[in-house]
A and B are shown apart, each in its own frame.
Chain A
Amino acid sequence: MNQTPVNLLEIRNVKKTFSISGGGFLSRPLTLTALEDINFTIRKGETLGIVGESGSGKSTLGRCILQLLSPDQGQVLWLGQDLTKLPAEEMRRRRQDLQIIFQDPLASLNPRMTVGEIIADPLRTLRPELSKEQRRERVLKTMAAVGLLPEMINRYPHEFSGGQAQRIGIARALVTEPKLIVCDEPVSALDVSIQAQILNLLAELKDAFGLTLIFISHNLSVVRHVSDRILVLYLGRIVELATGDEIYLDPRHPYTRALLTAVPIPDPKLARKRSIDGLKGEIPSPINPPSGCTFRTRCRFAEAQCAETRPPLETLESGRLVACLRWREIEAAEPIAGSA
């Protein structure tokens, strides 16, 4: 890490709810709280991993940052400028700095456009001043950077495998020379060997272009592999934010602890020795979340106070965040061995 970190993004008090049908014809709509009290910063040049189970709000958070969804309240400060208040035209200009890569590479590419047209599309809308030649030149340069051959420019998405299609998706995100890319489960649909190739590619591109990455995944091993810091979400709230090493070697939140023991380890002897911190049940419905700490219904350390008080997001030493009323007691009672 170099000098003082610059905060590229600051997320303040972001809340996002969705109104969903109550089921019946006359039933009142229900409110689903997808995100609440979201506060954190993203430093320039870092990779921030976001992990959580399905329904934790990780994709919603990614979309709120990019203003693909508007938060109900709160601010998304990009170098101090609040994106949520930006007029549409200005936001459009800003978009070349903020891009996204999706999970299903084939579904996210227009089947009727050639690879060249797909990759050039963001330039057409975001950089209209560029000539056709300039666009083509940029497209070819970007294709080379992601490992696509120039002759592929006139082919259609269906001619490509999943891994190649994801390279096209990455090229489309990269072509506007963004500062930040949100990667939403970018390798989950890929074969193991291809997954590793794409992870390496993202790391290379990040270094080469000085990118900041937000890496959303349910796979903790993958997130740990790519991330400088990791944000753990549970039912739309931050439960912990710390560096990869801190999360792995010294997790503070009981949910993070449980999540770590559930991650499959590709090492038979370790895997057999390990006892899984039996996290009971499944993530509750965000329509009717538990009172107090939303994790308490699955937490083996929960006490009466956890049902009454919502744990505040505490800032600890080295700037790590944790939201648990009892983490100090838990750590004293059951210290983590230090390394696994």
Chain B
Amino acid sequence: MAPVLTVKDLSVRFALHESVVTAVNNLNFTLEAGETLAVVGESGSGKSQAFLALMGLLAKNGSVSGQALLGDVDLLALSKTELNQYRGRDVAMIFQDPMTSLNPALRLKQQLAEVLVLHKGQDQKQAETSAIEMLERVGIPEPAKRANAYPHQLSGGMRQRVMIAMALLCQPKILIADEPTTALDVTVQAQMLDLFKTLTEDFGTSLVLITHDLGVVAGVADRMMVMYGGRPVEKGTVDDLFYDPRHPYTLGLLHSTPHIAKRAERLDPIQGMPPSLENLPKGCAFHPRCAFAFDRCLAERPALTQLENGREKACFHEGPMRYGKVA
């Protein structure tokens, strides 16, 4: 089956006072129908900017190049008016902080119905009924009553449910969720991840989950893409990357994540800090923090290469990696 989304050579640049920084550099990936792809990385890895660019939501000083094919439509080649036909209908996005994504002056049913009136041509009444049904689907108690509420009258978890309901109203092909559970308590986070699983299965929606939390990835994603300094460094199935990481950065992230079942005395974190995009190291951007770096990594940037089982990595190191104190 053809992928729902094919991204080719996506680059995102921002013009600063006297320079241009590249936040995303030649990103290539595909998203299959119904799958959940996790995009993992630390601040400045480009994980959010890549997807904001797809949605036409870059800041004013940002520019984008490359292709993002939704079927045979290139999202990046569309005018703003043309893009509006696809945003919300075929591709929807939700963010970390639901309060800033909802209009504080509109009742829930008003902002939800708007989507259906716009994209599906439903009349207000019909749209409000569908909106209430969707609120029920995402687990909001007394949906008919709550639909009259304003966003500030809801808790954080409820607001995020409303965002999910709004995103799914048109049954989009793709849902992009940018750190959707980071601001929530663990119990609510668990409810939310569960909801993502059921809804993507029921609607056949492909989910892009942008996160820094490997615990969240392990529970819901099928494949993952690890980004560093604006480029993907490793891609593959979740199991391949968790149990047999091939890039030292992926390995380092796994060793930095505390695991509730293992009370290690010390974690083995990656040394140093994520690089500034204005001043990316030469060669492999990760080499200053890498325990396996050798001469070549300082001089030359490793390209993303194909490995078995459809996985890819961008690293010159071959063979097993012994990491820190953990063999």
Contacts and interface: CB of A to CB of B under 8 A. Distances in A.
Contacts of B187: 53, 258-259, 262, 279, 282
B158 A221 contact: no
B258 A224 contact: yes
Interface in B263-304: 263-271, 273-274
A204 to B, nearest CB: 8
A163 B272 CA distance: 10
B191 A264 contact: no
Given A225-B267, A282-B155, A267 B190 contact: no
Contacts of A200: 266-267, 269
Given A200-B269, A282-B157, A218 B252 contact: no
A222 interface: yes
Interface string A182-206: 0000000001111111011001000
Interface centre among B42, B141, B212, B258 (most CB of A within 10 A): B258
Interface of A is mostly: helix
Q: How large is the interface on A (under 10, 10 to 19, 20 to 34, 35 or more residues)?
A: 35 or more
A282 B185 CA distance: 9
A130 interface: no
Contacts of A53: 185-188
Interface string A260-284: 1111111111111000101101110
Contact of B214 (A261, A263, A266, A281): A266
Contact of A225 (B193, B217, B258, B271): B258
A54 interface: yes
Contacts of A281: 141
A199 B189 CA distance: 23
B293 to A, nearest CB: 16
A161 B273 contact: yes
A244 interface: yes
A282 B215 contact: no
B269 A260 contact: no
B185 A264 contact: no
B185 A218 contact: yes
A196 B256 contact: yes
A269 B213 CA distance: 16
Contacts of B261: 248, 265, 267, 270, 339-340
A200 B217 CA distance: 24
A283 B185 contact: yes
B238 interface: yes
A326 B79 CA distance: 63
B260 interface: yes
Please indicate which of the listed interface residues B189, B255, B260 has the most CB atoms of chain A within 10 Å of its own CB: B260
B170 interface: no
A339 B262 CA distance: 11
22 contacts: A164-B273, A191-B274, A192-B213, A193-B269, A194-B42, A194-B269, A196-B256, A203-B266, A221-B258, A221-B260, A224-B260, A244-B263, A245-B263, A248-B263, A259-B186, A262-B190, A263-B215, A264-B219, A268-B218, A268-B238, A268-B239, A281-B141
Interface of A: 53-54, 161-164, 191-197, 199-200, 203, 218-222, 224-225, 244-245, 248, 258-272, 276, 278-279, 281-283, 339-340
Given A218-B186, A279-B190, 12 more contacts: A191-B42, A191-B43, A219-B186, A224-B260, A248-B263, A262-B189, A265-B260, A266-B214, A271-B218, A278-B194, A282-B155, A282-B187
